[in-house]
């Protein structure tokens, strides 16, 4: 309880996951490796480079065979100047947690040294590179993990990556009446008022300074 | 009877933040809910793409303003992962102490808002009074009461002042007695028990599938804590245990369990702080000057393209994660993409689902017991 | 309050019970009665536990029953001591603006540690603009103004290391008796700007130890002794801080390499009626050098030694060139 999960446990869990993944998915463009953070976090994690065609299969494998029960973060990135096969990237961060329903009036206090197998907590990072274009599409994992639901909504809302098969996609952080295809975190949208030498509540520019001559907002 | 949608609009004293909860009610029973977020969306992720790594720290303070130090620490760990910076051990201890002090202040703020929702106005005054103790400590350490801009990449901004350790130990020892006073007030109060027990059942596996973490999951009976499972900083050198609660029903944890787990967490945080201040390398009353290598190491300021940094940190409300990709503007001085995972963003739709089947009067109890903070939800 | 439909007024309900309860409550405040007979008199109410307690809570509460369970109290008075002596009980509220927290708890407002209002010693600022680049919010803007650099205004051992007077440039004359005025002047609470230390003029002609200058304030020309004049420079900047945008993070103060930028420990003096009022210009952000004399002296010493080294190197280079 006070003792933490050790590096050996974590490393062995990560290695076995990678071995199983390699065995199942070798040769379909999916690579899995054990990576280490620099410095602060001592535990290794599993990084998987997947392809959009095989993503659903990998996701189901992770959930049911590797017991990855926690979908934590979905991140989309726009690379307008990137290579042709990596114009967009979706990064999923998942975790495996030894959590299960307990009987009433009891609790499960895991003792770190007694954890084994798929009970050892582990982090997973899945990176999917999508081609350059205007319609990046990735299959949705909404049916596999409930936690992916609002994460995918946010990624579509801010970055513009379409999740195929996602029911009830709607704007979650931007206003509901934002224009179609307006996804602010794409690189062609710049910050307003950034670097201007003027009052920020002056939308018509009456208080403009000479230094800002010729600039449009 | 006809069913109707009622809007608990963005301005509402009991929603603990700026979000809309639309409930569909049949009489008094809730049959459906719909949560709308985004009222306080400030575009932090986009702003941070044009800021230096040092300039991003004050923005992260303002993500969850009630729990600023933990969010700044969470970002700093991700930035150190990206920039491959070393941190001296004394700085890690100071970060642990500051984060746990912030956790205490945040839980007191939660209780001070949750108590009046249930009906106990006394708690508001008591919790604010006790929170003042920790805000004063954080003011001494960080320079202001809520937004400190305290951790730096490679260490912390300043060392702990002279006399800070003694004041902190006295206040924590007083606070441990105060926790007992809170429990004396609440744990046998009929109103408290009737309103919290049997309300808002959530099962552990459902929560994990939905992405909920932190004290909400520990209330359901499993001691999963990021500080224990994916340890960082010096949490393995300090004497503590994750606070876990035994749920009273096969249906899972109710609001009373979530309240209890946070009281236990306050005890554990107090214990951690008292232990850490004794074990801190370099002594608790030596005030190293700013920039000394005991508290700060020089860190690189640029991150090449292709480098990534990830941090999984136990914030007050769950597991907060930062994912930073390097190689942005300024030849790598800015991040290319900074992605923030807020535990509350995932918990709010789960909370909205939990309410179905209960009464309108249970809404503040269920909502408050999950400790929402919309600043981090909307970023 | 609703009454039972068949209730009749009677002596027992309307007088005897209220009298008995009041008498018992009053008597139980005396310790020798309350401790011995309080429980028997039926003086404590609502002492049954509710049925909602589970075993875990009961176990946990058992250890505190001597405090929590009122029926187990041996003596529970109605009043606490502070009710008897209210004059000794003071509110914990600091009565701002008559009392100030930094006078009561000064360790909370240490000038180096507290993120208060910005203060700049413009005399030592070199316009490196590190603070401008460090600010996340575009709060700081720099402009130029006529100033006397600290090296030019130095006396004593660091004298003579500044720039020389030149025709067409500017010069400044120190206003007499200004030091005594500045000693008693508190910029934070004054309703006017700080008194000017220098009187600026344009240098028209230099001949020997007399300079012909045209004063900026009056436009008149006069001759002044060169030893009394200091070189003033247009390039040295002053600036403006938009406190409406400032988030008091302190990155600017950390970025300044010339010990000129500070966060003071003042938290008031920043209010206004419009956003323009929050644009603090140089006079509202300045820290008088007398207040931070140590910082100014340190900076002056640094720059004087640097200038000395530079001149020594130049002299050495000239000597080697001459001999070569």
Domain ranges, ordered by start, for chain B? 4-378
Mean pLDDT computed over C105-131? 80
Please tell me which of the candidates B57, B58, B184 has its beta carbon nearest to residue C67. B184
Average pLDDT over residues B49-54: 89
Strands C229-232 and C118-120: unpaired
Which of A73, A109, A112 lies at the smallest CB-CB distance from B244?
A: A109
The residue with greater pLDDT, B31 or B222, is B31
Question: Which residues touch C139 (CB under 8 Å, ≥6 apart)?
Answer: C241, C242, C243, C245, C246, C252
Measure in Å the smallest separation between the Cα of C93 and chain B Cα atoms. 11
pLDDT-derived band at B116 (thresholds 50, 70, 90) equals: very high
Q: Are the Cβ atoms of C136 and B58 closer than 8 angstroms?
A: yes
Report yes or no: B129 and B98 within 8 Å, Cβ to Cβ: no
Question: Which chains, if any, share at least 3 CB pairs under 8 A with chain A?
Answer: B, C
Sequential DSSP letters for C244-265: TT-----HHHHH-SSS-EEE-S
Homologous superfamily assigned to B4-378: Cytochrome-c3 Hydrogenase, chain B (1.10.645.10)
State residue C80's pLDDT score: 47
Lowest mean pLDDT among A66-75, B224-233, B279-288, C278-287: C278-287
Average pLDDT over residues C20-40: 78
H-helix or E-strand spanning residue A78:
strand A70-78
- Distances in Å between the alpha carbon of B201 and those of A150, B21, B217, B262, C102? 22, 19, 12, 17, 48
Report the percent of chain A where pLDDT is more than 90: 27
CB-based contact A146 B209, cutoff 8 Å: yes
Question: Residues 35-94, chain A: which have Cβ within 8 Å of B?
Answer: 37-43, 45, 69-73, 75, 77, 91, 93
Average pLDDT, chain C: 74
Which pLDDT does position B307 carry in this prediction?
Answer: 87
Percent of chain C with pLDDT over 90: 1
What local confidence, expressed as pLDDT, does residue B74 receive?
93
Comparing B79 with B189, which gets the higher pLDDT? B79
Within 8 A of C275 by CB-CB distance, chain A residues are 199, 201
A21-65: per-residue pLDDT in tens? Answer: 888 887 777 888 888 777 667 788 889 998 898 899 899 998 998
Question: Which residues from C are below 8 Å from B248, CB to CB?
Answer: 54, 56
**Which chain C residues are closer than 8 Å to B143 by Cβ?**
113-115, 250, 263
Return the DSSP state at B120: -
Report whether pLDDT(A130) > 50. Answer: yes
pLDDT surpassing 70 at residue A15: yes
Q: Residues C245-271: what's their mean pLDDT?
A: 83
Between C7 and B270, name the one with better pLDDT: B270
Interface of C with B in 11-70 (CB under 8 A): 49-50, 52-54, 56-57, 60-61, 64, 67-68
B332 contact partners, CB below 8 Å, separation of at least 6: B302, B303, B304, B305, B326
Task: Report pLDDT digits (tens) over C155-194.
Answer: 776 666 667 777 777 878 888 777 777 777 776 677 777 7
pLDDT score at C81:
46
Which has the higher per-residue pLDDT, B116 or C197?
A: B116
Q: Which stretches within chain A are classed as H helix?
A: 7-25, 55-64, 148-159
The CATH number corresponding to C164-232 among 3.40.640.10, 3.50.50.60, 3.40.190.80, 2.30.30.40 equals 2.30.30.40
Please indicate whether residue C304 or residue B176 has the higher confidence score (pLDDT).
Answer: B176
Between these two residues, C291 and C137, which has the higher pLDDT value?
C137
Q: Which of residues 143-182 of B touch A (CB under 8 A)?
A: none
**Residue C285 Cα, gap to closest chain A Cα (Å):** 19
How many CB pairs lie under 8 A apart between chains A and B? Answer: 187
- Mean pLDDT over C77-98 rounds to 59
pLDDT single digits (tens) B364-377 = 999 999 999 898 99
- pLDDT tens for B319-337 read 999 999 988 777 888 899 9
Is residue C205 scored above 50 in pLDDT? yes
Asked whether the predicted pLDDT for residue A91 surpasses 50, the reply is yes
Please count the residues of chain C: 324
Average of per-residue pLDDT values in chain A: 82
More confident residue, B149 or C32: B149
B71 pLDDT band, cuts 50/70/90, is very high
Tell me which chain B residues have a C-beta less than 8 angstroms from the C-beta of C134.
Answer: 54-55
The pLDDT tens digits for A143-193 are: 999 989 999 999 999 999 999 999 999 999 998 888 888 899 998 887 765
Position B90 pLDDT exceeds 80:
yes
Domains of chain A in sequence order? 7-100+112-211 (3.30.460.80)
Ranges of each domain in chain C: 10-44+67-76, 164-232
- Of the segments B93-107, B238-252, C18-32, C65-79, which one has the largest average pLDDT value? B93-107
Q: Which of B281-285, B313-317, C167-171, C229-233 has the highest mean pLDDT?
A: B313-317
Return contacts of A175-179, CB within 8 angstroms, 24+ apart: A175/B38
Burial code of B28-49, b = ≥16 C-beta within 10 A, e = fewer?
A: eebeebebbbbbbbebbbbbbb
**Nearest-by-Cβ selection for A197 from C55, C141, C275:** C141
Q: Which of B221, B345, B350 sits opposite A106 (nearest CB)?
A: B221
% of chain B exceeding 70 in pLDDT:
100
What's the distance, Cα to Cα, between the start and end of chain B in Å?
40
* pTM, full prediction: 0.80
> Does the pLDDT of residue C51 top 70, yes or no?
no
DSSP string for residues in B214-262: THHHHTTTB---HHHHS--TTTTSS---------SBTTBB-HHHHHHHH
Residue numbers in C near B194 (CB within 8 A): 52
Tell me what the mean pLDDT of segment B45-63 comes to.
90
If you average pLDDT over each of A101-115, B96-110, C117-131, C276-290, which comes out highest? B96-110
Contact residues, chain B, for A109 at CB < 8 Å: 223, 241, 244
Percent of chain A as helix, strand, coil, to the nearest 5: 25, 20, 55
- In angstroms, the CA C140 to CA A96 distance is 47
- CB contact burial B244-262 (16+ within 10 A = b; e otherwise): bbbbbeeebbbbbbbbbbb
Q: What CA–CA distances, in Å, run from C87 to B49, C79, C90, C93?
A: 58, 15, 7, 15
Q: Is the pLDDT of residue C71 over 60?
A: no
CB contact, 8 Å: B319 with chain A?
A: yes
Strand-pair category, B20-26 with B29-36: antiparallel
SS3 at position B46? helix
Beta bridge partner(s), residue A45: A35
Tell me, yes or no, if C141 comes closer than 8 A to chain A by beta carbon: yes
Which range is least confidently modeled, A130-134, B88-92, C97-101?
C97-101
């Amino acid at each position: 309880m006070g003792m933490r999960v050790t590096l050996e446990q974590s490393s062995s869990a990560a290695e076995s996951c990678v071995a199983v993944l390699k065995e199942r998915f070798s040769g379909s463009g999916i690579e899995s490796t054990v990576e280490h953070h620099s410095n602060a976090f001592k535990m290794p994690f599993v990084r998987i480079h997947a392809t959009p065609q095989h993503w659903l299969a990998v996701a189901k494998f992770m959930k049911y065979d590797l017991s990855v029960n926690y979908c934590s973060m979905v991140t989309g990135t726009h690379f307008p100047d990137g290579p042709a096969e990596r114009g967009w990237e979706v990064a999923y961060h998942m975790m495996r947690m030894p959590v299960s329903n307990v009987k009433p009036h009891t609790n499960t206090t895991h003792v770190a040294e007694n954890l084994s197998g798929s009970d050892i907590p582990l982090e997973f990072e899945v990176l999917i590179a999508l081609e350059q274009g205007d319609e990046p599409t990735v299959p949705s994992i909404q049916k596999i993990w409930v936690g992916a639901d609002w994460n995918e909504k946010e990624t579509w809302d801010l970055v513009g990556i379409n999740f195929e098969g996602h029911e009830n996609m709607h704007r979650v952080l931007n206003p509901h009446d934002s224009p179609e295809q307006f996804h602010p975190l794409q690189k062609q949208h710049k910050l307003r008022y950034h670097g201007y030498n003027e009052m920020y509540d002056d939308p018509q520019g009456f208080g403009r300074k000479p230094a800002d001559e010729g600039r449009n907002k | 009877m006809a069913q109707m949608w009622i809007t608990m609009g963005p301005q509402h004293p009991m929603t603990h933040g700026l979000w809309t909860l639309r409930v569909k009610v049949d009489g008094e029973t809730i049959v459906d809910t719909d949560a709308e977020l985004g009222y306080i969306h400030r575009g932090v992720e986009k702003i941070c793409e044009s800021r230096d790594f040092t300039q991003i720290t004050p923005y992260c303070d303002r993500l969850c303003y009630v729990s600023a130090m933990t969010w700044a620490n969470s970002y700093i760990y991700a930035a150190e992962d990206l920039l491959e910076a070393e941190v001296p051990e004394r700085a890690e201890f100071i970060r642990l102490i500051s984060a746990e002090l912030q956790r205490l202040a945040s839980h007191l703020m939660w209780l001070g808002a949750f108590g009046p929702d249930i009906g106990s106005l006394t708690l508001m005054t008591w919790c604010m009074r006790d929170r003042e103790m920790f805000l004063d400590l954080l003011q001494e350490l960080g320079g202001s009461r809520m937004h400190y801009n305290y951790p730096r990449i490679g260490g912390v901004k300043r060392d702990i002042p002279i006399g800070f350790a003694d004041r902190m130990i006295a206040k924590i020892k007083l606070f441990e007695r105060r926790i007992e006073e809170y429990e004396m007030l609440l744990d046998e109060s009929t109103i408290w028990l009737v309103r919290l027990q049997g309300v808002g059942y959530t099962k552990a596996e459902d929560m994990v599938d939905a992405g909920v973490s932190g004290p909400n999951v520990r209330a359901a009976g499993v001691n999963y804590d990021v500080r224990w499972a994916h340890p960082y900083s010096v949490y393995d050198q300090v004497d503590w245990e994750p606070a876990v609660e035994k749920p009273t029903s096969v249906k899972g944890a109710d609001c009373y369990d979530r309240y209890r787990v946070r009281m236990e967490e306050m005890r554990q945080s107090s214990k951690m702080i008292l232990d850490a201040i004794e074990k801190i390398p370099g002594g608790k009353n030596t005030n190293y000057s700013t920039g000394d290598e005991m508290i700060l190491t020089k860190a690189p300021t640029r991150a090449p393209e292709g480098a990534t940094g990830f941090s999984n940190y136990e914030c007050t409300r769950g597991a907060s994660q930062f994912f930073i990709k390097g190689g942005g503007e300024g030849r790598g001085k800015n991040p290319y993409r900074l992605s923030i995972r807020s535990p509350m963003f995932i918990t709010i739709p789960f909370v909205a689902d939990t309410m179905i089947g209960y009464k309108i009067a249970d809404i503040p109890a269920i909502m408050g017991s999950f400790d929402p903070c919309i600043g981090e939800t909307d970023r | 309050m609703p009454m039972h439909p068949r209730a009749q007024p009677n002596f027992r309900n309307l007088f005897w019970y209220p009298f008995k309860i009041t008498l018992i409550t009053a008597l139980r405040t005396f310790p020798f009665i309350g401790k011995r007979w309080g429980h028997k008199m039926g003086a404590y109410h609502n002492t049954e536990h509710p049925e909602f307690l589970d075993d875990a809570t009961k176990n946990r509460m058992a250890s505190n029953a001597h405090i929590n369970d009122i029926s187990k109290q041996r003596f529970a008075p109605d009043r606490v001591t502070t009710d008897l002596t209210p004059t000794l009980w003071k509110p914990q509220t600091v009565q701002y603006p008559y009392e100030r927290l930094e006078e009561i708890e000064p360790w909370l407002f240490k000038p180096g540690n507290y993120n208060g209002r910005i203060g700049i010693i413009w005399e030592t600022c070199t316009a490196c603009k590190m603070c401008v680049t460090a600010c996340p919010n575009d709060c700081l803007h720099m402009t130029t103004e006529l100033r006397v650099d600290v090296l030019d205004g130095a006396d004593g051992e660091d004298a003579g290391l500044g720039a020389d007077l030149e025709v067409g440039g500017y010069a400044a004359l120190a206003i007499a008796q200004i030091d005594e005025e500045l000693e008693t002047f508190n910029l934070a609470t004054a309703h006017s700007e700080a008194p000017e230390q220098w009187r600026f003029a344009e240098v028209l002609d230099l001949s020997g130890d007399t300079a012909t200058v045209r004063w900026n304030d009056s436009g008149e020309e006069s001759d002044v002794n060169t030893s009394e004049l200091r070189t003033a420079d247009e390039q040295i900047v002053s600036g403006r801080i938009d406190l409406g945008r400032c988030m008091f993070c302190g990155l600017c103060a950390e970025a300044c390499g010339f010990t000129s930028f500070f966060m003071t420990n003042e938290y008031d003096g920043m209010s206004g009626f419009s956003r323009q009022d929050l644009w603090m210009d140089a006079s509202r952000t300045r820290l008088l050098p007398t207040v931070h004399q140590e910082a100014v002296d340190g900076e002056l010493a640094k720059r004087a030694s640097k200038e000395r080294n530079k001149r020594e190197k130049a002299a050495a280079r000239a000597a080697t060139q001459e001999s070569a």
